[in-house]
């Protein structure tokens, strides 16, 4: 099945791309300009990248799954296929499904599909439900201030490890936190031969 790999679970709207309400057409996709650099930084530090996104617009009949897949195909093209997998919840908020964030269904599905090192993995998003999702499954979390992040930072029921201006700042924080710590070089002390 492959080696276990640390993973960044990314929210989509407001984190990777501009939140336009119900994004229903590929031509309305606008990826933030700092995202490619952020994803490259994650990749170069050994992280797998997965999008986990609530898409109740499907359940509301605003768009269908084929439109969602077309949006993700465009996203992959613009991001040089940096995303390893997409998981989405199509259900309405009041249906009680297991996959809608902050429930764990999408994370559990990802764990079945991929060998994930949960101890080194993170959730990054712009809403309180992203923070809740991460904490509910024992992952470390970063709230970004793009999208709804700035307004949600004041209403959080539980605090993320970090609040970052955007995904690139989050990537810099996470990759610095995940670097192995080098042992401190011991300072040499010269011993005096004369008695004290």
Active site residues: 11, 13
* Separation of alpha carbons 51 and 179, rounded Å: 23
**HEC profile of 65-121:** HHHHHHHHHHHHHHCCCCCCEEEEECCCHHHCCCCCCCCCHHHHHHHHHCCECHHHC
Q: Alpha-carbon Rg of the chain, whole angstroms?
A: 20
Cβ atoms of 79 and 33 closer than 8 Å: no
Q: Nearest CA to 153 among 165, 143, 140, 139?
A: 143
> Exposed, middle or buried by CB within 10 Å (0-12, 13-18, 19+), for 21?
exposed
């Amino acid at each position: 099945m492959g080696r276990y790999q640390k993973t960044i679970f990314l929210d989509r709207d407001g984190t990777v791309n501009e939140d336009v309400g119900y994004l229903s057409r590929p031509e309305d996709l606008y990826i933030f300009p700092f995202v490619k650099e952020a994803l490259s930084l994650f990749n170069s530090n050994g992280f797998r990248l997965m999008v986990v996104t609530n898409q109740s617009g499907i359940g509301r009949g605003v768009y269908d799954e084929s439109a969602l897949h077309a949006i993700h195909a465009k996203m992959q093209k613009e991001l040089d296929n940096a995303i390893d997998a997409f998981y989405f919840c199509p259900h309405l908020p009041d249906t009680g499904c297991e996959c809608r964030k902050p429930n764990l269904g999408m994370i559990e599905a990802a764990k079945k599909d991929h060998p994930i090192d949960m101890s080194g993995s993170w959730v990054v998003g712009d809403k309180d439900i992203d923070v809740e999702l991460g904490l509910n499954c024992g992952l470390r979390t970063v709230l970004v201030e793009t999208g709804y992040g700035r307004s949600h930072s004041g209403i959080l029921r539980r605090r993320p490890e970090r609040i970052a201006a955007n995904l690139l700042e989050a990537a810099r924080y996470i990759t610095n936190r995940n670097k192995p710590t080098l042992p401190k070089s011991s300072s040499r002390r010269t011993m005096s031969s004369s008695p004290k």
